Amino acid sequence: MRVGVLALQGAVAEHIRSLENCGAEGVAIKRTEQLDEIDGLIIPGGESTTIGKLMRAYGFIEAIRSFSEKKKPIFGTCAGLIVMAERLSGGEPPHLQLMNVTVARNAFGRQRESFEIDLQMKGWNRPVRAVFIRAPLIESAGDGVDVLAEYRGGIVAVRQGHLLGASFHPELTDDTSMHEYFLEMIRQYSA
Ligand code: GLN
C-alpha cells in the first residue's frame, strides 16, 4: 500500500516513519500528479494558514477535492484537520471544505499549548497516545460525521466515510494505532 503525505509544510517525515513502521510505503507528495500514484493521503500538522496558501499556489485544492471524490481516504492531523474542515470558527475562510465539521483553531489556550495524553477512542480496546500542539477543537460535527474521541467534552477525532480527522499528532509517538486504523480504511475503500 502506498500512502502519500502532503509535503508542503509540517510534520511530513514523522508520518512517513509511522507508515513505514506499519509496513506501508510512505511517499512525500510535492506535486499534484503524484496523487495518481497513491491509495490514500495524509495531510500533516504544521501551520494551517501556510499549508492553505501553498495548496492554493500549487493547485492542490482542486486536486485533493477530486482525489476525495474518488473516495480515496484522506487523514488530516491537527493543521491537516483544519484545512479539511468545511467551516472554521470566527469566520476565517476555509480551505478544502471536505468534512462536515466546524473547527476552532488554537482552542486550548496559552496555558495548555502542548500536552500529551492517553486518549480513549470510541469502541477501541486500548487508548491512543496523543500529542496536542496548539491544537484545534471540533466545535460541531454535522450529518454523516462519527465522533471517534472526545477530550474534556470537546471533539478531537472524527470520521466521515473515507475521511478521518484528528486534533492531535499521532505521528509524534511510537503508537501507530491511528495509522493502522487509516490503513484499514484504505483497504476497505480499495476493495
Ligand atoms: N495551530 C496550528 C494552526 O492553526 C495547528 C498546530 C498543529 O498543527 N500542531 O494551523
pLDDT for res 136: 97
Look over the chain and give the mean of its residue pLDDT values, rounded to a whole number.
97
Residues 80-93: tens digit of each pLDDT: 999 999 999 999 99
Residue whose CA is closest, atom 1 of ligand 1?
A: 134
pTM above 0.75, yes or no: yes
Cα(72) to centroid(ligand 1), Å: 24
Q: For the residues 148-173, what does the mean pLDDT come to?
A: 97
> Best of 6, 12, 82 to mutate for ligand 1, by most ligand atoms within 8 A of CB?
82
Cα(45) to centroid(ligand 1), Å: 6
Nearest atom of ligand 1 to the alpha carbon of 133? 9
The pLDDT of residue 111 is above 70 = no
- Give the pLDDT band (50/70/90) at residue 128: very high
- What secondary structure does DSSP assign to the chain, as a single string? -EEEEE-SSSSHHHHHHHHHHTT-EEEEE-SGGGGGG-SEEEE--S-HHHHHHHHHHTTHHHHHHHHHHTT--EEEETHHHHHHEEEEGGGPPPSS--EEEEEETTTTTGGGSEEEEEEPPTT-SSPEEEEEES--EEEEE-TT-EEEEEETTEEEEEEETTEEEESSBGGGSS--HHHHHHHHHHHHHH-
Q: Does ligand 1 lie within 6 Å of residue 134's CB atom?
A: yes
Q: Does ligand 1 lie within 6 Å of residue 188's CB atom?
A: no
Q: Does ligand 1 lie within 6 Å of residue 45's CB atom?
A: yes
The pLDDT of residue 167 is above 90 = yes
Residues 15-27: tens digit of each pLDDT: 999 999 999 999 9
* C-alpha cell read off for 46: 504544521
Residues 47-74: tens digit of each pLDDT: 999 999 999 999 999 999 999 999 999 9
Nearest atom of ligand 1 to the alpha carbon of 132? 9
Catalytic residue positions, numbered: 78, 169, 171
The pLDDT of residue 112 is above 90 = no
Nearest atom of ligand 1 to the alpha carbon of 78? 8
